[in-house]
Amino acid sequence: MIQTNRILPADQIKLVVWDLDGTLVDSELDLAHSINAMLRHFKRPELPVETIGTFIGDGAPMLVRRSLGDPNDEGFVKEALEYFLLYYRAHKLDNTYVYDGIISALHSIGTTRNGAPPRKQAVLTNKPVRPSRDIVAGLGLGEFFAQIYGGNSFETKKPDPLGAETLMKELGVTAAETVMIGDSQNDSLTAKNAGMWSIGVTYGFSPESLKHAPPDVVVDTPGEIAQVLG
C-alpha cells in the first residue's frame, strides 16, 4: 500500500538516491553471521539474528559497538571492528540477495520518459564503501548507479546531508529534483536535512523508525517505488 504524506512531483525527479541494506538488498544474515563470528572470537555470547538486525543502519562501528553492549574500552572496540570487517569482507555475499522487484524497479525508474534524459541513480549507505561497492557489483546492480558512497566516504554519515549534497553537486541536480529511498529514519532525515524528497520502504530492517521521521511517501514493495516515481 502507498501512503502519501506529501505529493511527490515524479516528473521533476532527475536523481534517485538509494540506501543499500534493507532497501536494495537483504544483507541481514551475512551481517549477523559476521557479528557472531566476531563475538565468538572474543569469547562473547552470540546474539539472535533478529537482535543484530535492530543494530543495523548506522554504520559498521556502531553495529559492532551495539553488539558488544557499548563497552568503554575503545581499543577493544577498534580491535573487534577490525575483526568484523575482515570476516565480513570474505562473507558479504554468502546469503545477501536483491529484494524481489528491485531490478525491475531500477529499470523502470531509469527509463527515459517523454523525451527527457534518463534519471540518474546512486547509492548512499552508512556501510563502509568497499564492501558496498563489492556487493552492488557482485549482485549485478552496478550498471544502474552513477555513484556509490559509503559510511566512510565522508567525515560524516547519514542523516548528515554531506553525502547527499555531494551526490547532487557531482550529478548536476538540485534538491527539488532528488529523492532519497530508504528503510529507516536515517534516510528520511537525510532527505529532510538536504532539502530532498523522500520515500520510505516498510520491507527493510527498520520500518518502525520511519514513524519518528515520516518520509513524504511510504511504500510496502519495490514495485510501489516504481509506481510512485511513474
Active site residue: 19, 30, 58, 187, which one? 19
Give the span between the Cα atoms of 141 and 198, in whole angstroms.
22
Task: Indicate if 183 belongs to the active site.
Answer: no
The bridge status of strand 197-201 relative to strand 147-149 is unpaired
Give the span between the Cα atoms of 86 and 34, in whole angstroms.
9
The bridge status of strand 25-26 relative to strand 120-124 is unpaired
Query: Sheet harboring 3-4: ordered strands across?
Result: 3-4, 217-219, 197-201, 178-182, 15-18, 120-124, 147-149
Closest CA to 33 of 43, 47, 23, 45: 47
Give the span between the Cα atoms of 60 and 219, in whole angstroms.
27
Closest CA to 49 of 61, 34, 38, 64: 34
> Any idea which residues carry the catalytic annotation?
19
